[in-house]
Amino acid sequence: MTSPASGVQLHLTSLPEGRLGPSARDFVDWLAAAGQSVWQVLPVSVPDPLGSPYKSPSAFAASPALLEHPDAPVSAEELSDFAERESYWIGSWTAFGGDLADQVRFAREWADLRTHAAALGVRILGDVPIYVAPDGADVRAWPSMFREDAVSGCPPDAYAATGQLWANPLYRWDVIAADGYRWWIERLRRSFTLFDFVRLDHFRGFVDYWAIPADADTAMEGHWERGPGRALFDAAEAQLGELPILAEDLGDIDAAVIELRRTLGLPGMAVLQFGFNPAYADNTHHPDNLQYDQVVYTGTHDNDTVLGWWATLPDAPRQMVRAAAARAGVRADVDREPSWALIELALGSPCQLAMMQAQDVLALGSEARMNTPGIEGGWDWRMAAGALTAEHAERLRALTEAAGRG
């Protein structure tokens, strides 16, 4: 970021049409009217049967369910050009049963949307999940890169008191390193082609990752193992140049994770909903402790909406929110409009980028929550047509301009 900015997170499936098309273009128009320069989406990959895009059968393929025109004609030349350009991975997808033509259609529609966004000064922030689905296209095409003895997850954290058993296959980092980290370099190359910059999911897993025995019943049975560290990023930078990455450094973070992120010059994340714990004096998510090299969120797709969070918040942290809002000169009444109060806190922070969920702009409750970590299902919230109004845009633009964000 060259200057402080702000934006809104809204996945494509949460658009009124649930895909690319008029409502996607309308949302870009609304963002521009609201003075926002970043649109953050979740992974555009093929979701799992429960709707999660973080357990995709391909690390590279885009979901055909996102297409506005799934039956649009595709020429032989387009097919040939795409297959040549994406030769590293497209064979793994077609061998798995994926359709090359759908990938061409997505590239065409996505390019049109990005052109529209760029013309209005809106950049698209994508998302790169760290892991892939079991028995997906990647595991079948490159089986030597994946372990069979252990699966992914994380220990207890702010999202789940007993940890999370994700059950994605873990990487054999020794095999990947011996190949010069080619698979990961190509994955990042593909991501940087699709997005202006990306959030790299579970960044701490590149330092140490939680390995859970494949036959375990819970994530509590896991243990830490060493990840690739800086070597992967150095290899990627040598091939791709500067890496436009935001590091998702939430969860059980230690000094080694912080050191790697800062050494690489990557911004980290802060989530305001995590910032008000009376038992945690040095909370890096608290508004008083935020830094420029962070991206601050009112909440992420893994959090409840601010209104839902506030409804169950005990009195002591509520008092902390009120005090922080008073110190920051927040105009919104915290008790009547907690979501807009946190939006103001985020915008007024020193962080280089402030992000809010569309649900929080709309002041929606828990019924609009996107995902609950550790619980299967979710991912199905969809915004009503016309929900984001000119009045919402005017209010957000005024706050954004007052905070000096562009």
What digits encode the pLDDT tens for the residues 104-139?
Answer: 999 999 999 999 999 999 999 999 999 999 999 999
> Does 197 reside within a domain?
yes
As a whole number of angstroms, the distance between CA 107 and CA 114 comes to 10
- pLDDT tens, residue by residue, 3-55: 899 999 999 999 999 999 999 999 999 999 999 999 999 999 999 999 999 99
Q: What is the CA radius of gyration of the chain?
A: 21
> Does 116 reside within a domain?
no
Per the annotation, the verdict on 201 as an active-site residue is yes
Contact 187, 242 (CB under 8 A): no
- Pair 406, 273 in one domain: yes
> Does 274 reside within a domain?
yes
- Pair 354, 367 in one domain: yes
160 band by pLDDT with thresholds 50, 70 and 90: confident
- pLDDT tens, residue by residue, 206-261: 999 999 999 999 999 999 999 999 999 999 999 999 999 999 999 888 999 999 99
As a whole number of angstroms, the distance between CA 109 and CA 106 comes to 5
In what helix (H) or strand (E) does residue 100 lie, and over which residues does it extend?
A: helix 100-119
Count of helices and strands (H, E) across the chain: 14, 12
**What are the structure tokens assigned to 34, written together?**
């609201």
- Pair 147, 250 in one domain: yes
> Does 117 reside within a domain?
no
Identify the active-site residue in 68, 127, 302, 304. 302
- Pair 291, 368 in one domain: yes
146 band by pLDDT with thresholds 50, 70 and 90: very high
> Does 62 reside within a domain?
no
317 band by pLDDT with thresholds 50, 70 and 90: very high
How many other CB atoms sit within 10 Å of the CB of residue 316? 11
pLDDT for residue 156: 82
- Report which of 128, 216, 117 is spatially closest to residue 166, judged by C-alpha positions: 216
**What are the structure tokens assigned to 375, written together?**
């619980």
- Pair 381, 345 in one domain: yes
pLDDT at 335 exceeding the cut of 90: yes
Domain count, the chain: 2
pLDDT at 375 exceeding the cut of 90: no
- Pair 236, 281 in one domain: no
> Does 171 reside within a domain?
yes
- Pair 370, 381 in one domain: yes
Per the annotation, the verdict on 380 as an active-site residue is no
Using the 3D structure, point to which of 210, 231, 266 is the last residue of a domain.
266
pLDDT at 406 exceeding the cut of 90: no
- Pair 294, 172 in one domain: no
> Does 401 reside within a domain?
yes
pLDDT for residue 281: 67
As a whole number of angstroms, the distance between CA 340 and CA 331 comes to 9
Longest dimension (CA), the chain: 64
Stretch 47-67: mean pLDDT: 96
Identify the active-site residue in 127, 138, 248, 304. 248
Contact 63, 44 (CB under 8 A): yes
As a whole number of angstroms, the distance between CA 160 and CA 164 comes to 7
Using the 3D structure, point to which of 206, 233, 266 is the last residue of a domain.
266
Stretch 316-332: mean pLDDT: 97
Q: Of 100-104, 135-139, 194-198, 374-378, which range is least confident?
A: 374-378
> Does 322 reside within a domain?
yes
pLDDT for residue 133: 94
**What are the structure tokens assigned to 52, written together?**
């999660």
282 band by pLDDT with thresholds 50, 70 and 90: confident
Using the 3D structure, point to which of 241, 266, 291 is the last residue of a domain.
266
- Pair 246, 226 in one domain: yes
pLDDT at 386 exceeding the cut of 70: yes
Identify the active-site residue in 26, 48, 78, 201. 201
What domain range includes position 232? 142-266
Stretch 279-291: mean pLDDT: 89
- Pair 229, 282 in one domain: no
As a whole number of angstroms, the distance between CA 296 and CA 268 comes to 9
Contact 31, 122 (CB under 8 A): yes
Output the average pLDDT for the chain: 96
Per the annotation, the verdict on 302 as an active-site residue is yes
- Pair 299, 254 in one domain: no
- Pair 250, 281 in one domain: no
pLDDT for residue 1: 61
